Structure 1
């Protein structure tokens, strides 16, 4: 009987945790007419996460009237930013920054057809970062699978992967119409810093653009 109660308690706690996680994800999104607001700053310790990808897609599929994605986020998962940008591009949506859009949020913003920013808002650029702890964890999890016999094998792969990722990011910015010199400066900003260009700089570099 005690074991049965313990199992029920575990199931209840897991279900409760999942429900809370789903609620936290949903709280980042608000549909307001033709605008889908994505705001990670209205929750404590929230950021762009992989679970947000499916929720974005679900909302867009269920609301065909949505034309614009309004963004307010300091960033988060690089992968999530890439995938959510792909979805924004596929749905041919406009993007609008209302507050701040920095780090991986910029990837999403650049997915917009028309891209605007409310007065007083800002867009921040810097290089990606991978912490020593996360690098160690990745090596330990994938060494056997990838055939990395030593940390030096992993370091060689990491060197190549970093260059590939840098090139892909730079190419993406240019493909989305951003001036090449501006893109190079953005990708050269150290992770510890954050470059917030002026509205004039963003407009001249075609980060902000109005095509209609």
Structure 2
């Protein structure tokens, strides 16, 4: 009798509820779509989201697309998540907004599309003054920086390498080179929102399926040589 009532209950239970599964505060499964939304908790992209994404995709092999809604966050986390999206050859979709580090994840998609009225936002990356100071204090002996001026010279060179690698990643994902350069014009306190037509023309939006590529690199040195806490500070 218990089995009978259980079977009846499951039969009457809405299929839409069964199809949805909340993995964390930011992740939710909806059919073959994985929804990643940092804004519903007023959060941002963090290192923890990398593991959550990997676990979700290992468990739910039916996922074909990831829906993004985020104003950005950790550059390193966004880069790592982009690598995961490319590995699983997912499509990417934005229903509301995808800005800053979120764009790296979006560009990792094979098919990339957005809802009518949705926005993709670009601006320069930033590294907070306090984080820069901590990095100098923690690494000056190992790096043999005798003064903050030597550290400043290193930052100047390292930043150029990072910018080059980020631009190379965008171009490798099919984004027009001129647009990639323009995407870094807005200061970190500002956001540039191209029109949907501009995004399509520049290759940010596309229907074509790209061949698998290596994940984007953000830093010049191996991750083991830089504390992850430092990478998390860059946005």
- Which of the residues 76, 80, 83 maps onto 1:83? 80
- Which of the residues 31, 55, 58 maps onto 1:33? 31
2:167 aligned partner: 170
Distance across 2 between alignment mates of 1:51 and 1:161? 26
Look up the SS of the partner of 1:95 in the other structure: strand
Runs of 4+ residues deviating >4 angstroms: none
Distance across 2 between alignment mates of 1:71 and 1:30? 11
Instruction: Please give the per-residue CA displacement for 1:78-130, whole angstroms capped at 9, x wherever unaligned.
Output: 00000000110011000001111000000000000000001121000001011
* 1:43-122 equivalences in 2 (<5 Å): 43-44=41-42, 46-122=43-119
1:7 aligned partner: none
Is 2:133 aligned against 1:136? yes
2:15 aligned partner: none
2:208 aligned partner: 211
More helix by share: 1
1:180 aligned partner: 177
Instruction: Please give the per-residue CA displacement for 1:118-163, whole angstroms capped at 9, x wherever unaligned.
Output: 1121000001011211111111122122222211121111111100
Higher relative contact order (CA 8 A, sep 6+): 2
- What 5-or-longer segments of structure 2 have no aligned partner? 1-22, 210-235
2:12 aligned partner: none
CA-atom RMSD, angstroms?
1.1
TM-score normalised by structure 2 residue count? 0.77
- What 5-or-longer segments of structure 1 have no aligned partner? 1-24
Look up the SS of the partner of 2:136 in the other structure: helix
Contact 1:170 1:187 in 2 (8 A): no
* 1:149-168 equivalences in 2 (<5 Å): 149-168=146-165
Look up the SS of the partner of 2:95 in the other structure: strand
Distance across 1 between alignment mates of 2:102 and 2:153? 29
TM-score normalised by structure 1 residue count? 0.86
